Structure 1
Amino acid sequence: MDTEVVLLEGETRTMPTPEQPSLIVRQKSPQNTEFPFASLSDLLIPTELFFVRNHFPSPDLDARDWRLRVDGAVARPLELDLDSIKAMRSTTLTAVVECAGNGRVYYVPPKEGLQWQNGAVGNAAWTGVLLSEILEMAGVKPNAREVLLVGADSGVVDTNKKTASPGPIAFARSLPLEKAMAHSTILAHSMNEEPLTRDHGYPLRAVVGGWFGMAWVKWITHITVLEQPFLGYWQAREYFRWERNLGEPSLVPLTEMEVKAQIARPVQGARLIAGQPYRIFGAAWGGEAAIRQVQVCTEDGSGWREASLLEKERPLAWRLWEYMWTPEKVGQYKLRCRAIDAAGRVQPDQQRSDFESYAANWIVPVEVTVVPEPQTYEEEFVI
């Protein structure tokens, strides 16, 4: 859409409006779209620009027919409709969620899976009810160990392999009882003060603060309290990492997000002008520990320097940050940033083999070119 600008009385000119950012399609069916991270500007990402991660087509649920069942190791099995849940005491949690595969495109050698770049991550304000309050209504039994969250989305997995499932399976993940009962875990019906959209889990989804997105089950219809660890497909065969203690390495499910900072601007390949100040800007996040520092290295001989953290700290949200840099010399530069959280964890320099194709949180440089300041010449007039 163009904008009409008034220049002088009675004179107008049509000027093109700046192009609006749009989601980047990583897969058309099922829909998987990425937030254009270079457009980052505010603490909250608008819903229409929030990344979408789907394993199967988004189910079309009617809230009038939808029910949430709670059963398993509970004293009082429940069935709740959406109005009953909305009538409960509400809580709003500002929290960042990152797909466990975000940054997969940077793995060397390449890894299988959706080739996310930087934008399978977002920060929003989620409103709903504490999962603990619903579990308390049901009366969790003393021998309970995990809480299984089951979504309405389902399908056949591994269709190109001999291990393909014999029929559709639902997306389901479990939480340890301690995490399910924590104040960082809610069942959300609203996102950024509006009802959830279909792609973001309408009418109800999990918000599991500090954990990767696979735990944030969408379109929840069923909660089962378990006495034994859940070993379903999405827990035991996808979204896992290797844990190396004494003896042989073992597979464990992914849980917390890893400490990470990313540069939104300047973008890869940007051309900057020598002698002019430039704002290096981005976001940083991690697991359940807050971000305490972001450092920037511009490769101009000054080493790691402190960036400014913007706005106030919100424990489970990301932190926006900035660093003002004035490049003095022309040439090629690799801009790097790293985050440090309250637990002392530092973003690593190199990729790690124990995370399969997930948790790509190592430092990825942004390469820029600094060019000379353009010269201006005055014309000489001989009279």
Structure 2
Amino acid sequence: MKIRERGLCELYQNDPERADALVFGRVADEGRRGFLRGAGLAAMGAVVGAAIPFHRNYPAGLIPAALAEDTKPFTIEGKSGLRILNDRPVNAETPAPLLDPDVTPTDRYFIRNNGLPPENTSADGWTLTIDGEVNTPMELSIDDLRNRFEVVTLKLQHECGGNGRAGFNPPASGNQWTYGAIGNAEWTGVRLRDVLQAAGLTENAKYTAHYGADSHLSGDPEKEAVSRGMPIWKAWDPHTLIAFQMNGGDLHPMNGAPLRILAPGWPGSVSQKWLTRIWVRDQVHDGQKMGPTSYRVPKYPVAPGQDVPNEAFRIIESMPVKSLITYPESGIVLPRDHRTLEVRGHAWSGDHDVKEMHVSNDFGATWVPAQLDPPPNTYSWQRWRARMAFPTQGYYEVWARATNAEGVSQPFAIAWNPKGYLNNAMHRIALRVEA
């Protein structure tokens, strides 16, 4: 009989409590928690490199944060410190510590491509067509956009719908993003609604359809790489932009130079890069990556691994409430006699503001409030910070939980779906305290 090695995530996939028993000698008690004792406690402590002061609170079937992270360095011209997930097309995420600034630097901004970027990304000669359900079709240069419409600058959060996919069990296909397919840059452009108003929408206008200059991976010019859109009400939001600058400079070629849409709070795929056309339609757009399951989730809860018929999926609109710990870096060791630390990060919530932020260092047994700053403008992420104390030496995990203006909080467990979208489980990092 052939013996096949299995990774830790695969081992935990089908029966996490059995995996606990195999890896750490732990058996679940009271239906939910399996207290670490004896050899099991020693085993987990040895793996994470320290004793675990709050081991009685540690949930059964949860891989320690110290083991759940994998990093791969990646560099590309104009980018620094990103992790590559795919090279055809190029997709790369930003490690959490590099997302600490309130405004994400351009060189640290994540890359999400569906196809092959255009070779020419010069603003010279670039035009944008507005047509379809409009009274006055238009063809605009970037100078036309600058000169004919009010130019605005906003700090806007922008996240891939699959951010967090690596946390799904059973695994979902696609780029295995961990936490870094998110950014909050300072975008400059014109309001999409101003341009649509100038074109004049007909009474039949219901949805936008976006097209870019990128090409399909196959090289077939008849195939689209991605073409998505949004309801007119989202296009009318004053924070939805046609952007031509990022952080005060030109857009990076991998971030859509010279022109893109920025539809904050919605899946990043709505924010078409290398924008060449906006087709106003009298129906929900049916372009590439609009269906049947692309950027869609089931309309009802499903069991992990369950087959879901195509007609049971809905289009993702507003992204869920979420937060990220950007300092300290996971795996930090506090020096001897140093048992307090400021923990900080960002929180965001699709179309909503975040109203509360809490942190825990005892595996969720208790929570303490964190200071939460208001956003500089709607759709920007929000800074949070908390001073935390660690009572004894050993292994700890810091967990972060945001609650939005609708009263919705981040969950502990993931709401599984076949495509691995919308993972907003609480972020956690590993930390050790010396004697």
- Aligned-partner residue type, residue 271 of structure 1: V
Hey, what does 1:332 align to over in structure 2? 395
Q: Give the Cα separation in 2 of the matches to 1:21 and 1:65.
A: 30
Hey, what does 1:270 align to over in structure 2? 332
Residue among 395, 400, 409 paired with 1:346: 409
**Runs of 4+ with deviation above 6 angstroms:** none
Residue among 235, 239, 243 paired with 2:295: 239
Hey, what does 1:133 align to over in structure 2? 194
Contact in 2 for aligned 1:215/1:255 (Cα 8 Å)? no
Distance 1:301-1:66 versus aligned 2 partners, 3 A rule: closer
Contact in 2 for aligned 1:210/1:316 (Cα 8 Å)? yes
Distance 1:312-1:156 versus aligned 2 partners, 3 A rule: closer
Secondary structure, counterpart of 1:324 in structure 2? strand
Mean Cα deviation higher: 22-31 or 333-342: 22-31
Mean Cα deviation higher: 106-115 or 284-293: 106-115
Q: Give the Cα separation in 1 of the matches to 2:221 and 2:271.
A: 26
The alpha-carbon deviation at position 350 of structure 1 amounts to 0.6
The alpha-carbon deviation at position 47 of structure 1 amounts to 0.5
Distance 1:254-1:355 versus aligned 2 partners, 3 A rule: farther
The runs of 5 or more residues in structure 1 that have no matched partner are: 1-19, 158-164, 373-383
Secondary structure, counterpart of 2:213 in structure 1? strand
**Residue pairs, 1:41-80, within 5 angstroms:** 41-59=100-118, 60-80=120-140
Residue among 315, 319, 326 paired with 1:257: 319
Hey, what does 2:422 align to over in structure 1? 359
Distance 1:150-1:249 versus aligned 2 partners, 3 A rule: closer
Hey, what does 2:51 align to over in structure 1? none
**Residue pairs, 1:130-209, within 5 angstroms:** 130-156=191-217, 167-209=222-264
Mean Cα deviation higher: 306-315 or 106-115: 306-315
- Aligned-partner residue type, residue 352 of structure 1: A
Deviation readout 1:227-255 (Å, 9 max, x if unpaired): 1111223111311111139xx97211112
The alpha-carbon deviation at position 270 of structure 1 amounts to 2.4
Greater per-residue strand proportion? 1
The alpha-carbon deviation at position 172 of structure 1 amounts to 1.0
The alpha-carbon deviation at position 69 of structure 1 amounts to 0.8
Distance 1:202-1:21 versus aligned 2 partners, 3 A rule: closer
Contact in 1 for aligned 2:354/2:404 (Cα 8 Å)? yes
Contact in 1 for aligned 2:173/2:419 (Cα 8 Å)? no
Contact in 2 for aligned 1:21/1:36 (Cα 8 Å)? no
Secondary structure, counterpart of 1:112 in structure 2? coil
The runs of 5 or more residues in structure 2 that have no matched partner are: 1-78, 302-309
RMSD: 2.4
Secondary structure, counterpart of 1:169 in structure 2? coil
Hey, what does 2:56 align to over in structure 1? none
Contact in 2 for aligned 1:21/1:39 (Cα 8 Å)? no
The alpha-carbon deviation at position 357 of structure 1 amounts to 0.7
Secondary structure, counterpart of 1:199 in structure 2? helix
Q: Give the Cα separation in 1 of the matches to 2:129 and 2:401.
A: 43
Distance 1:250-1:192 versus aligned 2 partners, 3 A rule: same
Contact in 1 for aligned 2:163/2:178 (Cα 8 Å)? yes
Deviation readout 1:132-154 (Å, 9 max, x if unpaired): 11111111001111011111112
The alpha-carbon deviation at position 224 of structure 1 amounts to 0.7
Q: Give the Cα separation in 2 of the matches to 1:347 and 1:235.
A: 27
Mean Cα deviation higher: 102-111 or 120-129: 102-111
Rg larger in structure: 1
- Aligned-partner residue type, residue 257 of structure 1: M
Q: Give the Cα separation in 2 of the matches to 1:47 and 1:365.
A: 26
1:219 matched to 2:281: no
The alpha-carbon deviation at position 103 of structure 1 amounts to 1.4
Contact in 1 for aligned 2:363/2:398 (Cα 8 Å)? no
The alpha-carbon deviation at position 371 of structure 1 amounts to 2.0
Q: Give the Cα separation in 2 of the matches to 1:249 and 1:202.
A: 36
Deviation readout 1:24-59 (Å, 9 max, x if unpaired): 222223221211211333210110111111111221
Mean Cα deviation higher: 339-348 or 24-33: 24-33
Aligned length: 346
Hey, what does 2:172 align to over in structure 1? 111
Deviation readout 1:320-342 (Å, 9 max, x if unpaired): 21111121112222211110111
The alpha-carbon deviation at position 275 of structure 1 amounts to 4.7
Deviation readout 1:347-382 (Å, 9 max, x if unpaired): 11111124631111112432322221xxxxxxxxxx
